[in-house]
Amino acid sequence: MGTHPSLPSKDVETQRSLLDLVRDNRALLSTEISRKYGEKLPFLFKVLSIRKALSIQAHPNKNLAEQLHAKDPKNYPDDNHKPEMTIAVTPFDGLCGFRPLKEISHFLASVPSLRSLIGEEAAQEFEEDVSGRETSSRAEDTQRNKKSLQSAFSALMTKDKSTIAAAAKDLVASAENDGEKFAGGGGPSNGGKELADLVIRLNGQFEGDVGLFVLFFLNYVKLEVGEAMFLKADDIHAYLSGDIIECMASSDNVVRAGFTPKFQDIPTLTSMLTYSYAPISEQKMNPVDYPYVTLNRTAYSSSSSAILYDPPIEEFSVVKTQLNDEGAKATFEAIDGPSIIICTAGSGKISVGPKNEQVKTGYVFFVGATAECVLQSDSESFTIFKAFCELSGKETANGVH
């Protein structure tokens, strides 16, 4: 949902693209946003229903995106960065960001097939370099740790496919036989049986893939409904299963390196990553009540809510509105920027000025800048996600951003 030229949204009645509509009427975006983002919506809004692991990937920062697009426009179709936010609609699991270094060292010591792939010399070098400095906050230690992590990870990613496939057979056999003792009983974040089941499951989808070993470097995260996480540009991740709302800067650039038959660019991936390492708790978001909405009495009495997910970038924020009774109403104050609204459960009505529309699950609406928007439920559970951009105004002025 958005104006990206790869697949711009279209008006249902006229079949005109949203890109054409906002270019013809700059006021729909606001003059400031139209000027800054070249008459295009600054975000892409998606619903992903993941039944098979998506690729191990990262999205380039702005400078790298410009270079990749100039060099290879077929595989890198635009010159923009792509930080993104994920909100769980159903229980979700994925691999996101590098694990704490102690966990990686534990797996190098307790997963023989992983250690053999990386090589004894490279594994020992990593263990010696980070030992005693794993959680140091000194800048020189952090830089040294990141360099060591890059070396070890690159040693894995650059192995040839036949070597990886042979090691994967040993890994899967261990996962099938060892149960809770697999991978030295797991690490602080994940149990041995949990990791064994994950290896077996992923091998069933991508047999012998390097991703089976990448999971020992990355945080394995589970999100419950309503939980969210934010990924900066250059952060490595792979979404494994679940239904999610995803919002990102308007880009279609993906650097892939596993769990995919698509184009893979391992040299770019291993050189571009930040190699930041931290527990997944540091990537999870802390949503807050959205302050610029008024709920009617029915909404209050049914414990309805409007929750703001506000990442540390200006291109987008998302509000999840949950109306829990028929007649519950949420009135959103006008903002100086565009919004896209999608219903993921239930039914109701949307009103913008004199225009009223029926809303059902899967319906999507664009709301232009400076327009008050009213949502009203005609079911017992009405769930709506609203992505929006506002460069200046209440969110910034009141310190919410």
pLDDT at 69 exceeding the cut of 80: no
- Per the prediction, the chain carries an average pLDDT of 90
| Angle between helical axes of 101-110 and 120-130 (0-180°, round to 10) | 150
Which pLDDT value is given to residue 400? Answer: 39
Which pLDDT value is given to residue 398? Answer: 36
Mean pLDDT, to the nearest integer, of 105-122?
Answer: 96
pLDDT at 399 exceeding the cut of 60: no
Q: How many CB atoms sit inside 10 A of residue 281's CB?
A: 10
Quick: pLDDT tens for 29-48.
Answer: 998 998 888 888 989 999 99
Q: Is the pTM of this model over 0.75?
A: yes
Q: Which two tokens stand for residue 379?
A: 């079911």
Span of 145-149, 255-259, 282-286 with lowest mean pLDDT? 255-259
The set of residues, in sequence order, having a beta carbon less than 8 Å from that of 87 and lying 6+ positions away, is 226, 227, 228, 244, 245, 246, 247, 309, 318, 320, 385
Mean pLDDT, to the nearest integer, of 89-93?
Answer: 97
pLDDT band at 80 (very low <50, low <70, confident <90, very high): low
Q: Which two tokens stand for residue 213?
A: 């070993």
Extract the runs of DSSP E, i.e. beta strands, from 16-141: 43-50, 57-58, 84-88, 92-98
Do 46 and 39 contact (CB within 8 A), yes or no? no
Do 103 and 279 contact (CB within 8 A), yes or no? no
Which pLDDT value is given to residue 65? Answer: 67
Q: Which two tokens stand for residue 126?
A: 């990593």
350 versus 280: the higher-pLDDT residue is 350
Which positions are annotated as active-site residues?
256
Phi, psi dihedral angles at 203 (to 5 degrees):
-65, -30
Which pLDDT value is given to residue 73? Answer: 67
Which pLDDT value is given to residue 394? Answer: 39
pLDDT band at 89 (very low <50, low <70, confident <90, very high): very high
Q: Which two tokens stand for residue 1?
A: 């949902």
For residue 373, give the amino acid letter: C
Percent of the chain topping pLDDT 70:
92
Helices vs strands, H then E, count in the chain: 14, 19
Span of 48-52, 210-214, 274-278, 357-361 with lowest mean pLDDT? 274-278
Mean pLDDT, to the nearest integer, of 75-86?
Answer: 71
pLDDT band at 61 (very low <50, low <70, confident <90, very high): low
pLDDT at 233 exceeding the cut of 80: no
Which pLDDT value is given to residue 265? Answer: 86
Q: How many CB atoms sit inside 10 A of residue 147's CB?
A: 12
pLDDT at 356 exceeding the cut of 60: yes
pLDDT at 218 exceeding the cut of 60: yes
pLDDT band at 81 (very low <50, low <70, confident <90, very high): low
**Interatomic CA distance for residues 389 and 371, integer angstroms:** 13
Span of 1-10, 134-143, 159-168, 352-361 with lowest mean pLDDT? 1-10
pLDDT at 82 exceeding the cut of 80: no
Quick: pLDDT tens for 130-145.
Answer: 999 998 889 999 999 9
Which pLDDT value is given to residue 253? Answer: 67
59 versus 351: the higher-pLDDT residue is 351
Mean pLDDT, to the nearest integer, of 63-74?
Answer: 70
